Amino acid sequence: MSDEALVIFTPSGKRGRFAVGTPVLQAARALGVDLDSVCGGRGICSKCQITPGYGDFSKHGVTVAPDALSDWNAVEERYKSKRGLIEGRRLGCQAKVMGDVVIDVPPESQVHKQVIRKRAEARQITLDPAVRLHYIEVVEPDMHEPSGDLERLSDALRDQWDIARVTCAFPVLAILQTALRKGEWRVTVALHQSEDSETPRILHVWPGLYEGGIYGMAVDLGSTTIAGHLCDLRTGDVLTSSGLMNPQIRFGEDLMSRVSYSMMNENGAAEMTAAVRDGMNRLFGQVADEAGIDRNLILDAVFVCNPVMHHLFLGIDPYELGQAPFALATSNALRLRARDLGLDVHPAARAYLLPCIAGHVGADAAAVALSEAPEKSAELLLVVDVGTNAEILLGNTEKVLACSSPTGPAFEGAQISSGQRAAPGAIERVEIDPATKVPRFRVIGCDLWSDDPGFAEATAASGITGICGSGIIEMVAEMRMAGLVDGPGLIGSPDQTGSDRIFQDGRTWSYLVHDASASGGPKITVTNRDIREIQMAKAALYSGARLLMDKFGVDKVDRIVLAGAFGAHISPKHAMVLGMIPDAPLDKVTSAGNAAGTGARIALLNRRSRAEIEDTVRRIHKIETAIEPRFQEHFVNASHIPNAVEPFPVLSGLVTLPDVIFNTGGGDGEGGGRRRRRG
Amino acid sequence: MSDEALVIFTPSGKRGRFAVGTPVLQAARALGVDLDSVCGGRGICSKCQITPGYGDFSKHGVTVAPDALSDWNAVEERYKSKRGLIEGRRLGCQAKVMGDVVIDVPPESQVHKQVIRKRAEARQITLDPAVRLHYIEVVEPDMHEPSGDLERLSDALRDQWDIARVTCAFPVLAILQTALRKGEWRVTVALHQSEDSETPRILHVWPGLYEGGIYGMAVDLGSTTIAGHLCDLRTGDVLTSSGLMNPQIRFGEDLMSRVSYSMMNENGAAEMTAAVRDGMNRLFGQVADEAGIDRNLILDAVFVCNPVMHHLFLGIDPYELGQAPFALATSNALRLRARDLGLDVHPAARAYLLPCIAGHVGADAAAVALSEAPEKSAELLLVVDVGTNAEILLGNTEKVLACSSPTGPAFEGAQISSGQRAAPGAIERVEIDPATKVPRFRVIGCDLWSDDPGFAEATAASGITGICGSGIIEMVAEMRMAGLVDGPGLIGSPDQTGSDRIFQDGRTWSYLVHDASASGGPKITVTNRDIREIQMAKAALYSGARLLMDKFGVDKVDRIVLAGAFGAHISPKHAMVLGMIPDAPLDKVTSAGNAAGTGARIALLNRRSRAEIEDTVRRIHKIETAIEPRFQEHFVNASHIPNAVEPFPVLSGLVTLPDVIFNTGGGDGEGGGRRRRRG
């Protein structure tokens, strides 16, 4: 055997020659192989487990002898007998290289492991949280060299982990001395290392090797709901996802009514701040309970939210956001103590808020950008986060544009006569027979269609209670396809449509979807007013997207991502029939689910992504729809179903919309007023 | 007139040639002349006032023509008419150089003005506080370039004050937007600029030009009293100095009894933390009230204290300080939010704690070092901070040594039979006639001696109530000089001393100082037990100093500074007769008053002094008396009055101590036990 041996690591493929006797962990570090260790190679944390391969590796051109690694030493034996080791595994810090060897680093031994995301087109998350654990051995105090325990602990971090300078969160001072003595001068510290120039900060100290968990929360703070993902910062796993209603709802359903509340009431903003922080604390408590963890082990939290929520959560009066020029108090990302936000978590826990893009385009849009990464896309990507305010991104590697558009709450089933929130009993899918004009539908909580046998029994418990947001989109699109609604958005009379489900409803016509009144249930209908609401909402959304396309200098996009919980349920075909989104091949329209929440999770699990999204946001071109004259023009055209002027060639190849016009010249009734103009 | 003119600034003597038309402020900045400006040269803050000199300046070789500066412009005229200007003054930002000119910068226009200190040997304080005001004009928000108000304010600081990067204290976010709009985009910010690498931090924002005060507190947190100096951070002036009893007194008179309290009581440390913070808040309220300022304008605070107070104030259990190796939780300086210390001041106010030197030598000793600067002294300087724990520094430019020595409370009048705190009625000065052995004395609150006519009337109100700390030192020294006490510390009998004021008191003799029992007052005596207490205390102090001299390799010092409020009242001659301090020429023994408090004030008013003292403390050699074998030997020798072995040659030249020995071989009574040994 020569004095040196070849070590090849998989899956990285990194290789190098090392003196016989070099521990595998040391070889891995020398080569920059991603092999974890909390204890710094002392054989106690087991994070550096590796799997040596033996025999012929023709691919690598080596044969590994059975004695390529040193025999099990006492430390490894003790570890295995006390804690157990998977068959074939060794401790990388104990096993020494004795001959040429191939070493596999299993995923759980990698520091920067990939966190699984379900969607193929989504960027992967590399685990690199801001808070990590470090085990250290601290020099005992010496009267001849008096220095504080903290100072010797800092020296240990410098000497054992190459962390040159640390600061200490205030609450740590009170527990430091006890932890050091209880751990006999061996402790595990939770260290917060920001990606910016901040000095690393000690958040907590445990006696000895701490093998429990440390956690982070990724929160999407919406106007209606607050959704949180509790993540294990060691593995990147989501332990629990949970949500609750934003308690601010009692001050107003939508953003502008909350801004108004703060204008009209002396302590209105403070009341709303207290309400949202209270709700946030309940959510934190709820997820901690569900996951069975101590909420004091939550050491980091990332928040994304629209600008009004952002300001109210921070304790800033959103007054300025209610009027031009919609000035944010601060637009940059914020790095705070969680305690400053009133959060009852670990007293030294940190909080990070993503940057806001503009006064109407918040940190939630930034989070969507982080999740969907338009700036990394070769294809021209349109990302639409559908909510009461649609936030829209358009871009590719060349540039990214952003705007928001006030869609209102219609897409959430609000202000729709039979509308309701997405809940069991709500109609979510619809098909209308173009010949008979009879609808069949499905409700949330039941997989059967309404004309399937057993549907009545299966829905007896929930009842059929209304139409949810995605249901109303399908409904209106189906009504248009079935010739019940014309391009300008008017419901035809029974004569014009040939349907006895159409009935007079004041000065306009309505469509009967389902009548459960015999069994005490509601009569579910679509009124012309409902159609108008959907027209306004979809026109706002489309004209925002169209404006960005103008600014980009294009008239079509390559790919469309629908973000937002609601976006996940929208049928691309129906959205396109409505003219809610630009014309595109249906297979190029996908849903990203709660992309804002995902963005929050990325920022939580990968600290470098924070600097990255801050940089991206700085480079995003913000378009303020309110001051763009073309927005109004696009809006008017987009009020038509699908559009008064745009051709939608892909859609035309898929469906032929009946060429009907129901306005007979006598005005189109009360629903036709407001903002819509004849195209 | 040429295109350029010569500008000479006094008192700096800096000079340079500038294009005709250059504003004086701009010329000053170009030359690095210390000329203040809060408004950045906009003619509204008046901080840049200068006095041009006209006529012949042969010293500078120039003649200044009457038109050497531009005529008064509208801004200057308006300022003068509205606010007034001292005759001969101009605004440096408005007056332009038109010809050769000599410009005097009056002290109040200097940024880094000298703060007056009374003592000639003391270092001067150059005003350079961590918190300063900056007036800025912020760009208004623009929908086309959406950025937060804070970000545009940061840009203004960068563009107008060359402050490249700032962070913002959390509470500022809530007031920022209102201040900007109320000030019509002109605001004054209070900016905290640490001397270390911390990013400058905005602590507060006022609309427009803020012309009110900003304040800082320098606090000496002692075991017995908390003393605070409220300083104006713009001028360096002390507005109010005030103090109160440390409310922790109820948990124990001295440090070790408080450490014991924390050991014996479950929440003992927390109770004491709450008590000291409560006292601190009362002090802050008291000084703010006395100065008539809003405590919310206190933006910075500096604290010095011994290690036990340091830990209790920070909320750290002082347990470890009660036992070897006396490990501090942290020894470095601390930069905190004042709110973390429970201080009810401005919500974003900062707090700075000086570093501790060792487990027994605290931040108060560091403050004494900052005030007295032994490391800058060419003479070998001994600094003794006299208190229940004496903290001792010995050094010169070569090196500085430090130790502490447990003197106990005798120097404060405690554990002395007729002892009392320094208060009206307490005997503070004594002379004993060597022939008659009759004392004459003075009491606090009266300038007459006890044998002056009118003394009885003058002291009728206060009475003669006891002996304070400095009084007992003089008393024992005078008793030694009058032959009432011998070198080993024994009081002689009436026969041995020839005084009928000596009376039997158990197994030893006592000395009657004053008998007010006829008028219902106390009988003031000195017992042999009192002598023993003073011997122990002074031996502890002397042996600490002597140990440092050993370590330094010297047997005399050049200069002695007595620090501490008590040190201010000690008579150097009597202290030397006692052998409390090393032998030295009397004119080389001076008092520094409350040097710890002064050190706190320096750290408050000059941010660079913080880095300086941190560096000094790192380089100070710490001596732990408890583990030095020679300490015991010095202690035994120093129990003798003045000393069993050391010659005290200077003292011998001044006074001849009676060569008496009162011990007749039968033991020296109950007071002679404890630590003392025959020399």
Q: Report how far residue A588's alpha carbon sits from residue A605's, in angstroms, rounded to the nearest whole number.
A: 29
- Contact between chains at B359 and A624 (C-beta distance less than 8 A): no
Tell me whether A378 touches chain B (CB under 8 Å). Answer: no
Tell me whether B340 touches chain A (CB under 8 Å). Answer: yes
pLDDT on residue A118: 61
Tokens standing for B111? 């940024």
> A609 CA to chain B: closest CA distance, Å?
21
Residue B148 is nearest to which of A140, A324, A331, comparing CB atoms? Answer: A331
The predicted-structure confidence for A86-114, as pLDDT tens digits, reads as follows 899 999 999 999 999 999 998 888 888 77
pLDDT on residue B675: 39
pLDDT on residue A341: 97
Tell me whether A176 touches chain B (CB under 8 Å). Answer: yes
What are the boundaries of each domain within chain A? 4-109, 115-207, 215-353, 367-409+533-672, 419-525
pLDDT on residue A250: 85
DSSP B23: B
Tell me whether B626 touches chain A (CB under 8 Å). Answer: yes
- What does the pLDDT average to over A658-669? 74
Q: Report how far residue B345's alpha carbon sits from residue B301's, in angstroms, rounded to the nearest whole number.
A: 10
Tokens standing for B455? 């003394």
Tell me whether B647 touches chain A (CB under 8 Å). Answer: no
Residue B150 is nearest to which of A317, A329, A337, comparing CB atoms? Answer: A329
- Contact between chains at A148 and B332 (C-beta distance less than 8 A): yes
In A78-143, DSSP assigns E strands to 90-91, 101-104, 114-115, 125-126, 131-137
The predicted-structure confidence for A519-548, as pLDDT tens digits, reads as follows 888 999 999 999 999 999 999 999 999 999
Tell me whether A244 touches chain B (CB under 8 Å). Answer: no
- Contact between chains at B141 and A176 (C-beta distance less than 8 A): no
Residues B28/B44, Cβ–Cβ less than 8 Å: no
Sign of the CA dihedral with B198 first, then B200, B204, and B210 last: positive
Tokens standing for B616? 């000094």
pLDDT on residue B281: 97
- Contact between chains at A151 and B336 (C-beta distance less than 8 A): no
Residues A413/A467, Cβ–Cβ less than 8 Å: yes
Q: Which residue on chain A is closest to B153 by alpha carbon?
A: A330
Mark A539-563 as b/e (b = at least 16 C-beta within 10 Å): bbbbbbbbbbbbbbeeeebebbbbb
Tell me whether A628 touches chain B (CB under 8 Å). Answer: no
Short-list B402, B385, B361, CA closest to B592: B385
Residue B174 is nearest to which of A168, A315, A332, comparing CB atoms? Answer: A315
Sign of the CA dihedral with A583 first, then A589, A594, and A598 last: negative
Mark B443-475 as b/e (b = at least 16 C-beta within 10 Å): bbebeeebeeeebeeebeeeebbbbbbbbbbbb
Tokens standing for B342? 């429970």
Residue B359 is nearest to which of A146, A150, A199, comparing CB atoms? Answer: A146
- Contact between chains at B317 and A176 (C-beta distance less than 8 A): no
Kindly report the CATH number that applies to the domain delimited by A115-207: 3.10.20.880
Q: Report how far residue B408's alpha carbon sits from residue A601's, in angstroms, rounded to the nearest whole number.
A: 59
Tokens standing for B647? 């010659």
pLDDT on residue A359: 87
Q: Which residue on chain A is closest to B625 by alpha carbon?
A: A143
DSSP B512: E
Residue B330 is nearest to which of A149, A340, A359, comparing CB atoms? Answer: A149
Mutation target among B177, B197, B320 for the A interface, most CBs of A within 10 A:
B177
Tracing tokens 């010092």 back to the chain, one arrives at B557
pLDDT on residue B679: 32
Q: Which residue on chain A is closest to B320 by alpha carbon?
A: A177
- Contact between chains at B173 and A324 (C-beta distance less than 8 A): no
pLDDT on residue A535: 95
- Contact between chains at A148 and B329 (C-beta distance less than 8 A): yes
Same fold, B4-109 and B115-207: yes
Tell me whether B332 touches chain A (CB under 8 Å). Answer: yes
pLDDT on residue A520: 82
Phi-psi region of B498 (alpha: psi -120 to 50; beta: other; left: phi over 0): left
Q: Which residue on chain A is closest to B338 by alpha carbon?
A: A170
Residue B141 is nearest to which of A140, A174, A327, comparing CB atoms? Answer: A327
Q: Does CATH number 3.30.420.480 belong to domain A215-353?
A: yes
pLDDT classification of A59: cutoffs 50, 70, 90: confident
- Contact between chains at A173 and B148 (C-beta distance less than 8 A): no
- Contact between chains at B320 and A177 (C-beta distance less than 8 A): yes
Residues B307/B360, Cβ–Cβ less than 8 Å: yes
Residues A643/A579, Cβ–Cβ less than 8 Å: yes
- Contact between chains at B327 and A148 (C-beta distance less than 8 A): yes
Residues B631/B566, Cβ–Cβ less than 8 Å: no
Q: Report how far residue A371's alpha carbon sits from residue A599's, in angstroms, rounded to the nearest whole number.
A: 5
Tell me whether B111 touches chain A (CB under 8 Å). Answer: no
Q: What would you report as the CA-atom Rg of chain A, rounded to the nearest whole angstrom?
A: 30
Short-list A106, A278, A291, CA closest to A216: A291
Q: Report how far residue B133's alpha carbon sits from residue B191's, in angstroms, rounded to the nearest whole number.
A: 6
Residues 417-456 of A with CB under 8 A from B: none
pLDDT on residue A124: 79
Q: Cα-Cα-Cα-Cα dihedral of A553, A555, A556, A560, to 10°?
A: 70
Q: Which residue on chain A is closest to B619 by alpha carbon?
A: A145
Tell me whether A330 touches chain B (CB under 8 Å). Answer: yes
Q: CA B315 from chain center: how many Å?
A: 24
Tell me whether B330 touches chain A (CB under 8 Å). Answer: yes
Tracing tokens 């928040």 back to the chain, one arrives at A303
A144 vs B contacts (CB less than 8 Å): 624, 627
> A626 CA to chain B: closest CA distance, Å?
9
Mutation target among B145, B153, B172, B173 for the A interface, most CBs of A within 10 A:
B173
- Contact between chains at B331 and A146 (C-beta distance less than 8 A): yes
- What does the pLDDT average to over A616-642? 92
Residues 177-196 of A with CB under 8 A from B: 177-178
Residue A629 CB neighbours (<10 A): 6
Q: CA B5 from chain center: how many Å?
A: 47
B149 vs A contacts (CB less than 8 Å): 320, 327-330
Q: Report how far residue B341's alpha carbon sits from residue A170's, in angstroms, rounded to the nearest whole number.
A: 10
Q: Cα-Cα-Cα-Cα dihedral of B593, B595, B598, B602, to 10°?
A: 150
Q: Pairing between strand A559-563 and A381-385?
A: parallel
- CB contacts < 8 A (A, B): 139
A361 vs B contacts (CB less than 8 Å): 146
Residue B331 is nearest to which of A151, A174, A324, comparing CB atoms? Answer: A151
- Contact between chains at B315 and A173 (C-beta distance less than 8 A): yes
Q: Has residue A79 got a pLDDT over 90?
A: no
Tell me whether A333 touches chain B (CB under 8 Å). Answer: no
Tell me the fold of A4-109. Ubiquitin-like (UB roll) (3.10.20)
Tell me whether A323 touches chain B (CB under 8 Å). Answer: no
- Contact between chains at B332 and A144 (C-beta distance less than 8 A): no
Q: Report how far residue A544's alpha carbon sits from residue B120's, in angstroms, rounded to the nearest whole number.
A: 74
The predicted-structure confidence for A123-147, as pLDDT tens digits, reads as follows 678 999 999 999 999 999 988 888 9
Q: Report how far residue B193's alpha carbon sits from residue B132's, in angstroms, rounded to the nearest whole number.
A: 8
Tell me whether A144 touches chain B (CB under 8 Å). Answer: yes
Single-letter amino acid code for the residue at B184: E
Residue A176 is nearest to which of B325, B329, B340, comparing CB atoms? Answer: B329
Q: What's the average pLDDT block by block, 10 residues per block, for chain B (679 residues)? A: 86 92 92 87 87 91 92 89 88 93 90 70 83 96 89 96 93 97 97 85 97 96 91 93 89 83 91 96 96 97 96 96 92 96 97 94 94 95 87 96 87 86 90 96 94 93 90 96 96 95 94 89 94 94 96 96 84 94 94 91 95 95 87 94 94 93 66 37
> B362 CA to chain A: closest CA distance, Å?
11
Dihedrals φ, ψ of A207, to 5°?
A: -65, 140
Tell me whether B328 touches chain A (CB under 8 Å). Answer: yes
pLDDT classification of A121: cutoffs 50, 70, 90: low
B390-395, strands of its sheet edge to edge: B589-593, B559-563, B381-385, B390-395, B400-405, B621-622
